[in-house]
Structures are given as C-alpha cells and as structure tokens.
Amino acid sequence: MLLFTPGPTPVIEPIRQAMSEPTIHHRTPEFEAIFAQAREGLKNLINMPEVLMLASSGSGAMEACVCTFAQSKILSVNSGKFGERFGKIAKAHHIPYEEIINEWDTPVSIESVMEILKKDQSIDAFCIQMCESAGGLRHPVESIAQAIKAYNPRIVVIVDAITAMGVEKIDTTHIDALIGGSQKAFMLPPGLSIIGLSSYAVDLANQRDVGFYFNLKTELKNQSQNTTAWTAPTTIIIGLTKYFDIVKQNGGIEHIYTQTKARSLATHKALESLGLKIFPKTPALAMNTIYDEKNASAIRKILKNDFDLNIAGGQDKLKTSLFRINQMGMIPLNKSTWVVNAIELALDKLSLRRFDGLGNKIFLETYYQLNG
C-alpha cells in the first residue's frame, strides 16, 4: 500500500537501512558524535541558536513549550484539530488561555491577534500552527510573529511547525520556539520531537526549570553536551543524521524545498483541472486538501481498494468531506503522477468525469515549469 497521508510519511529505504544497525548505547562517545551531527543538521535547517530533541511525538514538544513558556496566560489560534490541542494542553495544566477560533479554511489575521494582545496585558505566550494539518491551512505566522515582537518582545511566540519543518524555508527571526516531528518531512518513524529555541527562549527555560520528563532546562544542560537527560531514541536520531546526508547528496535543502513546492503546486493545479475544490483559502505546501462533501469518502475508498493508495480523510466535523494528500518528504515523481492519475480514474469510476489524462498533463506541465 502506497502511503500518502500527511504524517506518518513513508520511511525511505536508505533511512530504514541506517536504522537497522545493531542498537548502540546512548552514553557513549560514538552516540555523542551522532547526536552532535543531528544537532548541527537541525540548527542549520531552522537557523536558530539552540535546538532540543525529545523522545515523544510532536504533542510532547507542544506540551513542553506550553508549560515552560506560558506563566500567566496563553493566546492560541484554533483553526483545526492541532490548534485546538494547544488549548487542551493549557487546560490540562490549569494555565489560563484564550482562543481565536477560525473556520478551518481561513487563516488568522494579524489584526485579530494584535487586538486581543493589546486588550489583555496578562497574555505572555502566543501559540499557532504554521500549517494547520486539519485543513492544510497555512497561517501568516512570520508576519504575526514580527508584529507581536514589535509590540512586546517579552511575549513568547510558540509555533507548531510539525508540517512545515523540512517542507519550506521558515523565517525564524521572530519565533521563540519552533516545534517539529520526526514522522513528517524527515521521513522517519514517529517518536522524536524537535524544539528550535531563540536565545530569549533559552534564557526563560533556564530560569523557569519546569516539569520533570519534559524539563527544557535539564535537556538544555545535557544536549549542549551532546547527550540527553533520559535514554535517547538512538535509532531515530541515527535515521535523522542519514536524512541530512541524503539531503546533501540530493542537492541540499533548498533543492528539496523547490521540488516540494513544484510537486505540491502541480498537484494542486492538476486536481483543480479535474474539477476538484481546494479547501483552504491559503493552502500550505505540505499537503493538498480537497473539499468534496459528497464524494471524498468514496474517492478514498476507490484509491485504497483499486489502486493500493492510502490518502487521509478529514477530521472531526470534516471527516467525510475532505481528503488530504501528503507532499512532505522526498516523494519520487512517478509516485506523485500515479496519485493524480488514480484520482482521475476514481472520478471516472464514480461517473463524475470521463478519464482523458488531463490531470497528469497539467501536473507535468506545471511541475516542469516550476522545476525545469
């Protein structure tokens, strides 16, 4: 079955092989050298002064950031399942919070964020998704972060970039905590989360010393020495160093960004040419999200049964109205064209549109225009 869900993504063969070596102990010079390599790779990728790796899925890093960086009150943007999670974490820890609730297809505006921050001086942390994966929505995070810092640099800007890290170049100038996860663009198994930190965030984490397992002060002390407070997920970190090797061998990260963008926009145009409707008003590059209340589930079913292809549906209220196609990681062109083709064939099977190969024509035309 071809896995085309926006996380987890397929683990490519060279990474699987790198992770199949016998387990090494985490308190050894051998692993410390690997850890140092992974740290360097991540710091270069996100262009931040400090980075931490935690043994958890992405939500663990979200919880660590909320608990460490919000003392009085959080403002969070809730435009889907993942935005909602920041509020749920705050609630679980009895941290006061306010949410801006947007339709899942609609990006939050800078004005609405600034209005609340100016009204409520107690807010000391702001949380948002770079790409809200529930609807494939890209928020204008960099501009919001810049506006917040211009207004009050003490407000901590926490960004869930789990479906943006490794997908597109992120301007981290005004971001304090940037969260990533292994199972998306890094093409690794789930189980490793990442937090990029600004120097302001490093200072706060050291002053505050919050929690036990997810104590960022403890991790900063250890990870700056290329070790971890607890047993490190050695296998995934070995896979991460392999990922950076592969990126280098394939022309560097900028080249991967170009290819990802070309693939994502080409799929977008191809699906539109088949009469399908893109759901978000500002689509993220990480995935293509299609709204079809009547046929989304039937299309997914045909893809699974007839074409051995697993794409994601929607979540919650949009469970059966959406389908989502992954664009994260290094996806071979023949697989991307196969997805577009299979969708066009599914539309034919449902008698919604006669197959004429238009999807792949538009896909390839657009792709070679953008990545020629």
Residues that bind ligand PLP (CB under 6 A): 7, 57-59, 82, 129, 133, 160, 162-163, 181
The nearest distance, CB 55 to ligand PLP, in angstroms, is: 12
The radius of gyration of the chain's CA atoms, rounded to the nearest angstrom, is 21
- Closer CB to ligand PLP, 163 or 366, in the complex: 163
Q: What phi, psi does 229 have (nearest 5°)?
A: -65, -45
The count of other CB atoms within 10 Å of the CB of residue 81 is: 17
- d(C-alpha 92, C-alpha 248), whole Å: 42
- d(C-alpha 306, C-alpha 147), whole Å: 49
The nearest distance, CB 137 to ligand PLP, in angstroms, is: 10
- Closer CB to ligand PLP, 19 or 128, in the complex: 128
Q: Where are the alpha helices (DSSP H) in 74-130?
A: 81-92, 110-119
The count of other CB atoms within 10 Å of the CB of residue 280 is: 25
- Closer CB to ligand PLP, 161 or 309, in the complex: 161
Contact, 78 vs 87, CB < 8 A?
yes
- Closer CB to ligand PLP, 179 or 270, in the complex: 179
The nearest distance, CB 34 to ligand PLP, in angstroms, is: 23
Which two three-digit tokens encode residue 174? 């005004």
- Closer CB to ligand PLP, 163 or 223, in the complex: 163
The nearest distance, CB 58 to ligand PLP, in angstroms, is: 3
- d(C-alpha 104, C-alpha 79), whole Å: 5
The nearest distance, CB 320 to ligand PLP, in angstroms, is: 20
- Closer CB to ligand PLP, 181 or 359, in the complex: 181
The nearest distance, CB 357 to ligand PLP, in angstroms, is: 33
- Dihedral through CA 47, CA 51, CA 57, CA 59, nearest 10? -80
- d(C-alpha 197, C-alpha 5), whole Å: 28
- d(C-alpha 181, C-alpha 192), whole Å: 6
